[in-house]
Amino acid sequence: MRHPRLALSTAVAAALVGLLLITVSLPQGQTQRSWKPPHTSWGDPDLQGIWNNSGDAQTPFERPDELAGRDTISESEARELLSKSLAEEFVAGGTGADPQHWYERPPSRRTSLIQDPPDGRLPAMTSEGERRASAKAAVRRSRGPADSWEDLEPFTRCITRGVPGAMVPDYYNANYHIMQAPGYLAILYEMIHDVRIIPLDGRRALDKGIRLWMGDSRGHWEGNTLVVEVTNFNDLANGSASDRYRLIERFTRLSPDTIRYEYTVDDPGTWARPWTVRSTLTTTHNPGVIYEYACHEGNYAVTNVLRGARSQEQREREGSEAKAALDAR
């Protein structure tokens, strides 16, 4: 089970910290420009290994207004904002969260995960996107936030973090095991239990009528960069996205220890223009395996959220009845 405070959403943008700049580790005498990435025995660039992106966990998704015009902040500012963020996390009367040693929170210098548009902010929604989002919000208001387990996000229900959700940095369990075989690349995500298999053999995409939680991935190499196009998402995993939602991912190995990961959301039915997010994967130097993330075992979140919602509804009914009784006197 994961704590609701770790829910994947644009609430990440509220954190007022940036990304720790990763020092690229290269063999002695080599520069990043001269370094040549390794290749598999069948000739593809080698991305294999266990990688981690928690160095980006403290970076806001969108750039905060108070940091407008700044791509990065100083190291001292980053540490100050990290301290402020941690201090505000536990407020008087709050329920707390998991033990702090579970979390990976390096100080951070980047001011947004969004790299394009250059202002680090999401572009405007289209009128179609606004209508769709408003309609979903109206349904949610009429039902309440937890009328049924189906109102809870797939992450809370231990179904999936989706794509690109599974690749967005989180505070813990931020490990990814990349494996390759001729014509395929697979990613095992530590968080929840997803494995995504990406064909690289040029096969056609699935029929448009087949819609999947993590979409339908098709990859190819552009030089040393793996480019993955993802389509055919169902309407449950990506919020208010339209049926024209398309994701383009890019994995580029920059050094023995570093992969640059980017994704671009292209959804003309929702956003006025495409937008791009960038993060960094660093090697864990772990030759072993990723251990099981037992999400459903002991997951009391769904039961407790629904029980809490019913309890709140009962209190509201009792309050309304008491008021009606007073008014009738």
State pLDDT tens for residues 99-142. 666 666 677 788 999 999 999 999 999 999 999 889 888 887 88
227 belongs to a structural domain = yes
Give the model's pLDDT for residue 177: 95
- Read off the pLDDT of each residue in 60-65 and give the average, rounded to a whole number: 92
136 belongs to a structural domain = yes
Domain that holds residue 121: 4-298
307 belongs to a structural domain = no
Give the model's pLDDT for residue 187: 96
> What is the number of domains present in the chain?
1
161 belongs to a structural domain = yes
90 belongs to a structural domain = yes
The span from the CA of 163 to the CA of 165, in Å, is 5
Pairing, β 225-231 against β 175-181 = unpaired
pLDDT at 21 over 60: no
- Read off the pLDDT of each residue in 93-103 and give the average, rounded to a whole number: 58
Closest to 110 (Cα-Cα) out of 148, 61, 143: 61
DSSP letters of 225-250? EEEEEEE-B-SSSSTT--TT-EEEEE
pLDDT at 19 over 70: no
The span from the CA of 269 to the CA of 125, in Å, is 9
30 belongs to a structural domain = yes
pLDDT at 318 over 50: yes
Give the model's pLDDT for residue 107: 74
262 belongs to a structural domain = yes
- Find out whether the peptide bond into 164 is cis, omega within 30 degrees of 0: yes
Which position has the higher pLDDT, 150 or 210?
210
Q: How many CA atoms does the CB half-sphere of 149 hold within 13 Å?
A: 12
pLDDT at 93 over 60: no
8 belongs to a structural domain = yes
The span from the CA of 238 to the CA of 15, in Å, is 22
